[in-house]
Amino acid sequence: MSYDETFAGRVRRVIGKKRGAVEKKMFGGLAFMLDGRMCCGIIGRDLMVRVGPERYEEALAKPHTRPMDFTGRPLTGFVYVAPAGYASDVALRRWIKWGADFVSALPVKRGRRQPPGASRRGK
């Protein structure tokens, strides 16, 4: 599945100003990470937002949203927002802020564990 590059540019303009912002191709779309944690992404024409379990029901009550069900089972804390739900720049910034607020409240991420015998040198 591809994503709309024009829409990706809109997301980049909002999230690119945040510290630790990185983008990665995942799920057949594009994910935006903040300090190594997925904040939001684009899958097809939908915006995917990680709102967290506390805001999940609130997010689903908003127009143009539905549960993220990438594997056929809803993933609590993640929602899809249809294009009409992020059409204005104000709405897009609001959704991205919800995702950024959630991931910035998570505990500091510790370094990844290396498999036995693996070395960090040479990377």
pLDDT in tens, 19-75: 889 999 987 899 999 989 999 999 999 999 999 999 999 999 999 999 998 778 888
Edge-to-edge strand order for the sheet containing 78-81? 21-26, 29-34, 37-43, 46-50, 78-81, 65-67
| 117 is a domain residue | no
Alpha helices in 1-123 (DSSP H): 5-15, 56-60, 89-104
Q: What is the pLDDT of residue 121?
A: 37
| Overall average pLDDT of the 92-107 stretch | 95
| 53 is a domain residue | yes
The total number of residues written for the chain in this structure: 123
Q: What is the pLDDT of residue 14?
A: 94
| Overall average pLDDT of the 75-88 stretch | 96
pLDDT, mean over the chain: 87
Q: What is the pLDDT of residue 109?
A: 67
| 110 is a domain residue | no
Q: What is the pLDDT of residue 72?
A: 81
pLDDT band at 100 (very low <50, low <70, confident <90, very high): very high
Number of separate domains in the chain: 1
| Bridge partners of residue 23, in order along the sequence | 32
| 107 is a domain residue | no
| 98 is a domain residue | no
What are the DSSP E strand ranges found in the chain?
21-26, 29-34, 37-43, 46-50, 65-67, 78-81
| 34 is a domain residue | yes
| Residue 113, pLDDT above cutoff 60 | no
Q: Which of 4-13, 20-29, 110-119 has the highest mean pLDDT?
A: 4-13
Q: What is the pLDDT of residue 88?
A: 97
| 67 is a domain residue | yes
Looking at residue 83, which CATH number applies to its domain? 3.90.1150.30
Q: 11 is in which domain, residue-wise?
A: 5-88
| 76 is a domain residue | yes
